[in-house]
Amino acid sequence: MAGENALLPIAAMIHLILGVMTIILVYRSERARPSERLAALILGWIFFVLGVIFLFRTIIDYQFTNEIITTGDFSDSFLRYGVGSAWIVYMSLVAVLPLIYPYPIFFSESFARFGAVFVAVVTILLAPLWIVTNYEYSGLQRAFYLVPFLAWVGIYLRYLFSEIQGGRAEDRAVSAVSALLLIGVFAEWLTYWLGIVLTQENHFTARFLVGNAELKDPTIAMLLSSTMAQAMIATSMLVLFFGEAWRTKRRGFSGVSIVIFTFFTIGILWFIFDYTQMGIVDSCVNTACEELNPIYSTWYVFSSEIIRFLVVPLILMYVILNFNLIETGGENVWFTRIMVLLMLLIVTSSIIELIQTVLPIPQMITSALFAAAVVVFIGWEEKITNSMIRQSSSVSDVLIEAGETGFLRIDDGEYRIFSIAVGISLGLAMLISLLISLMEITV
Amino acid sequence: MASLDVDDGVGGNLADVVREIFSIRESNIAVSIALAVILISGSSNLYNWTQEEYEVALDAATDDWWLIEFNASVSEIVHEETWQDEEKKVVSFFMDEFIFPEGYLVGKIEVIVKPDADSNGTLFDPVAQCDSIGANILNEGGLTAQWDYEGNVLSGQDSSCEWIRLNLQAYPGFDGDDLNSSAPNEFQALLPWKQTGWGEGTLEVEVELDVNTVDALGPVSSDDDEDITIEVKVYGFIASASMGGQ
């Protein structure tokens, strides 16, 4: 059986590497559209912060698995505070991105500065607040999901209609990017849509609530935020599904529609599999928490964890490369190729390793498979990279040419300010977490 | 479709942006439906929560005090045998020969070693003296029990015709007395008292005899053996919990 969290260390590595490389590429993409360059910078930081979160989770998982730490020790440790504070930075970045991309709703030359201030203020306010309240109200930060939900669902529908009813084929780029970004942010939660709609997901919330009771008491704030976030996520999935079904009927299949149909189908499977395990899921509430079935856990690893840790970074990288958020030509071409190859090799080796834990395939065969994948990637590296950026189209160009928005100028210094502010926010979040964990809370 | 009146480098204000995004009627209807779905889905989840799961989960996450009561049952086996002077014997008792009602677990074991009632003199042998008896419970029969428990009495000796009482705790924490426990529900309160596997194996009791005789006195003074009875009582229990202990 593939162990739960088996992909965490790989996910941490992938996100950190992609984050650093994306941020570097943004600074080397002086000819990219400014709003898209800023979006790439935000995505780069999202990658990096996710990498930090996954790194924390890897250490936490390792310590619990090897019984180095107890729940009591963990409750006031730097590990718990650190990962909680990093989530705040991540959520604030997620709230900033939809305001500038794909549609520059906040059309301002100083948007980068505004975004930086927003991230910094939110981090400095919420990091200590959540720690001293023992994260009992931290669910409220899910309200930030409202921004991507409202912005991207609205923009997705707007440009889907203008493509199909208005006959503007180029508008597909805008709706496709919105759909992909929704998947990038809501990730595996989209596959729980049917369980959410039919209220089955509540049983899991109750299980986690009881399972975490040793760390924090359940609160109404947590209940409200969790319910509304789940409703937003399920609605996003339904909007995307019906939108793509309609588009497929009119225009035929596309890569994006296949991804969305896959998520929709996985959602139905999840509902069925969850239903079969309800006795175990409810055990925490009714009797004592029982371990989940090993096959069920393996299905979780092969669906939810692969989506969260491997598919999401691939989708976001696709958005960055295919929609010209950064310059992929000229001097950057080698950098881009290295990034794509590295990504593909890590994902391939992870999936092969995962398969090996489930099926009794001799290591000789999996090594040969991996070697074959390496040869294919090296032999076709140009082709693979080109296919990622083959149909490059800039959403900004589409919007500007249609006269729906103007050309947003952002000074080079603004990108630097944004990066410094986010870096300092992350550093401060870690410092606050470390110091409070050392001081101990006595209130 | 509305379009923003913008030049290169000039952006629209927020009102223009909103007007542009909501410029298609059909799209606005779809957005409205999406928002309605959110409200319906969120409300139904919330209703379901407040009506069912929340109270139950809250209750499950909050500890209560439970009074744990033990219903005991005793199963007994008696072994009688004659020991010769300075003889040391080990008597084995197979634990599966002690019979308990369904669901009972082995809590503790009591061993009583009884010398012959006549050993302190009789009408026929009035000067006979009490023999010296030593008894030990041996940890050699693979018996699963709390061998390191401080309250155990695993060895005893007597030369005044008194019974030797030994005891061994089999189930962790069991002493037969009721107790209070903090747990979120009845199942978890009883969880520590439902472990199987304790009190299994073979109980080994070692008994050694040293006969005391008075030379040339009394009609039957050539006493060189002793009838010894070993009584083994095994206490089984089944636990029940009721809320409101402490």
Residue located via tokens 């090296």:
A378
CA distance B195 to chain A (A): 14
- The answer as to whether A148 is a domain residue is yes
Q: Which domain holds residue A220?
A: 8-294+393-439
pLDDT average, residue stretch A96-115:
92
Number of domains observed in the structure of chain A: 1
- The answer as to whether A374 is a domain residue is no
**Do B20 and A405 count as a contact with CB atoms less than 8 A apart?**
yes
Residue A155: list chain B partners with CB under 8 A. 21
pLDDT over 60 (residue B2): no
- The answer as to whether A415 is a domain residue is yes
Q: What is the ipTM of this complex?
A: 0.73
**Do B27 and A161 count as a contact with CB atoms less than 8 A apart?**
yes
- The answer as to whether A351 is a domain residue is no
CA distance A361 to chain B (A): 38
CA distance B4 to chain A (A): 5
- The answer as to whether A333 is a domain residue is no
Query: Which of A151, A81, A146 minimizes the C-alpha distance to A431?
Result: A81
pLDDT over 70 (residue B222): no
**How much of chain A is helix, strand and coil, in % rounded to 5?**
80, 0, 20
Q: What is the pLDDT, as a whole number, of residue B118?
A: 61
SS3 B3: coil
Residue A106: list chain B partners with CB under 8 A. 14
Integer Cα distance of A221 and A219 in angstroms: 5
What letter represents residue A189's amino acid? Answer: W
* Paired sense of beta strands B225-243 and B105-115, if any: antiparallel
- The answer as to whether A56 is a domain residue is yes
Can you give the pTM of this predicted structure?
0.77
Write the pLDDT tens digit of every residue in A118-159.
Answer: 999 999 999 999 999 999 899 999 999 999 999 999 999 999
Write the pLDDT tens digit of every residue in A368-417.
Answer: 887 888 888 777 777 777 776 666 678 988 888 888 888 888 888 999 99
- The answer as to whether A202 is a domain residue is yes
Integer Cα distance of A278 and A257 in angstroms: 31
Write the pLDDT tens digit of every residue in A314-361.
Answer: 899 989 988 889 887 777 888 888 878 877 777 787 777 777 777 777
A238 inside 8 A of chain B by CB: yes
* Paired sense of beta strands B132-138 and B155-158, if any: antiparallel
Residue A170 is classified by DSSP as G
Confidence of residue A6 (pLDDT cuts 50, 70, 90): confident
Write the pLDDT tens digit of every residue in B68-116.
Answer: 999 999 999 999 988 888 888 999 999 999 999 988 999 999 999 998 7
pLDDT over 60 (residue B127): no
Integer Cα distance of A208 and B61 in angstroms: 10
pLDDT over 70 (residue A284): yes
Integer Cα distance of A390 and A404 in angstroms: 25
Integer Cα distance of B72 and B177 in angstroms: 10
A215 inside 8 A of chain B by CB: no
pLDDT average, residue stretch A180-190:
96
- The answer as to whether A191 is a domain residue is yes
**Do A408 and B11 count as a contact with CB atoms less than 8 A apart?**
yes
